[in-house]
Amino acid sequence: MNRTDTQEPAISNTENHGIGLASDTSAPCSKRTPSASEATDYYFCQAADVLGVPTWLRSLLLIPKREVTVRIPVEMDNGSIETFVGYRVQHNNFRGPMKGGLRYHPEVNLDEVRSLASLMTWKTAVVNIPYGGAKGGVCVQPSHLTTKEMERLTRSFVDGIHDIIGPDSDIPAPDMGTTHEVMAWFRNQWEKYHGFNPAVITGKPVEEYGAKGREEATGRGVGILALKLLRRLNIRPQDCRVAIQGFGNVGSHAAKFLSESMFPIVAVSDVSGCYFNPRGLDVAALLRHALANRSLEGFAECDRLPANELLSLECDLLIPAALGGVISENNVSSVRARTIIEAANSPIHPEAHRRLTEGGITILPDILANSGGVTVSYFEWVQNLQHYSWSLDRIRQELDHKLSEAFESVWQESIAKSLDLRTAAYTVGIGRVQRAAELAGFRA
């Protein structure tokens, strides 16, 4: 196909999720608090303005390729049937098969999944791995389900979406509320329809074709990038007090890496509260406690504050590693960090981002900061396709190499074009997807 027309059909606000693409490229978002996908689209449009991306191409790059909503009937342990709702949004495949996690959380909805799928497109492009973007999720509170119910939920979800998933089309992975066990159930159920192919999903258990180092990868990547950023900012690790919101997969591994790199971790939080010691927490003890109790609840070797107070603690590096939208125009004035690394997806609303950057706070954006996870997922997929397993040392080295390259390209872009790091990351990512679109024949 060789497309040369500029006649991408004009789209209404309803069709384009309210981002005002068709007519107004300079003011893509309204002033009210944006939804998750509006916030992501806003960041996209800011960078697209810098690049001068025409309106027809913005529509092509922003509107998801496909969105699927499925009902998920599950037999509960007491014999009753409960029906859940699941989503898979396939955002863009210009650079390769679509890639993105599966989230199990009570606040999962189509708008959020759409936003996260779009972030994956820009993230895989920034870190320069041959993928597009996708995301999925189920609206469910995982802690309310038994292990057997979680397994039946996962298998029933696969029944609903298996025919749009595949190693060359769309490859899921873990995200909030999903574990390597969930990935193993997913693969097993998918293979009942399509036959053996472990490359269909990443984040699997190591003994089931998973990659060594995948579980630590996102948090470790946050730590690697923190070292690179702070070196540029001339802040020494031992002078950098760190506060981390969220102590799940990402937050706990980031805490481990950073404390082993001599950073004092002064506060961590999870749903149970904020655990604080201005002289530095014993991270090894926190990790042991969290492993034994699946929560920080009951950890007594430090001060305890309400969970949401972590965001307003005075620190040098704040790492939101839990939910999206936690720093908004409502609480941004209470943030007292010098730098922020977005380990979570979309933790900062656009207006809050504007005020923080204007206040001189450096923010390393999610599409770069948490890209270590998808990078090692890519290594897992490569190993599965080759039926060959890499050592942990090789995986860590290649991760460091990929993240260093991505960090340098974003840092240099921000200097060359006088952009904040978020806009620079988006311009790098959008530029690569735009080039792939051109090579696919989409040229004006």
Chain contacts with ligand NAD (rule: CB under 6 A):
174-177, 218, 245-251, 269-271, 307, 321-323, 343-345, 370, 373
Residue among 28 and 177 whose Cβ is closer to ligand NAD: 177
Residue among 199 and 307 whose Cβ is closer to ligand NAD: 307
Residue among 20 and 86 whose Cβ is closer to ligand NAD: 86
**Alpha-carbon span 266 to 241, nearest angstrom:** 6
Residue among 20 and 324 whose Cβ is closer to ligand NAD: 324
In the complex, minimum distance from the CB of residue 322 to ligand NAD, in angstroms, rounded to a whole number: 3
Phi-psi region of 206 (alpha: psi -120 to 50; beta: other; left: phi over 0): alpha
φ/ψ of residue 67, rounded to 5:
-130, 130
Burial 72-87 (b: 16+ CB within 10 A, else e): bebeeeeeeeeebbbb
Measured at the CA of 309, the angle between CA 308 and CA 315, to 5 degrees, comes to 125
Task: Give helix then strand counts, H and E, for the chain.
Answer: 13, 12
The 3-state secondary structure of 41-106, one letter per residue: HHHHHHHHHHHCCCHHHHHHHHCCCEEEEEEEEEECCCCCEEEEEEEEEEEECCCCCEEEEEEEEC
Active site residue 417: no
Which residue lies nearest ligand NAD, judged by its C-beta? 248
The residue type found at 149 is E
Helix (H) or strand (E) holding 242: strand 242-245
Residue among 181 and 438 whose Cβ is closer to ligand NAD: 181
CA nearest neighbour of 428 among 95, 67, 68, 185? 95
**Alpha-carbon span 361 to 296, nearest angstrom:** 29
Q: Scan for tokens 């999870």, then name that residue.
A: 270
In the complex, minimum distance from the CB of residue 104 to ligand NAD, in angstroms, rounded to a whole number: 8
Say which of 99, 135, 212, 256 is annotated catalytic: 135
In the complex, minimum distance from the CB of residue 159 to ligand NAD, in angstroms, rounded to a whole number: 24
CA nearest neighbour of 37 among 107, 113, 151? 113
Residue among 56 and 381 whose Cβ is closer to ligand NAD: 381
HSE-CB for 362 with a 13 A CA cutoff: 17
The residue type found at 52 is G
In the complex, minimum distance from the CB of residue 279 to ligand NAD, in angstroms, rounded to a whole number: 22
In the complex, minimum distance from the CB of residue 271 to ligand NAD, in angstroms, rounded to a whole number: 4
Just list the catalytic residues: 135
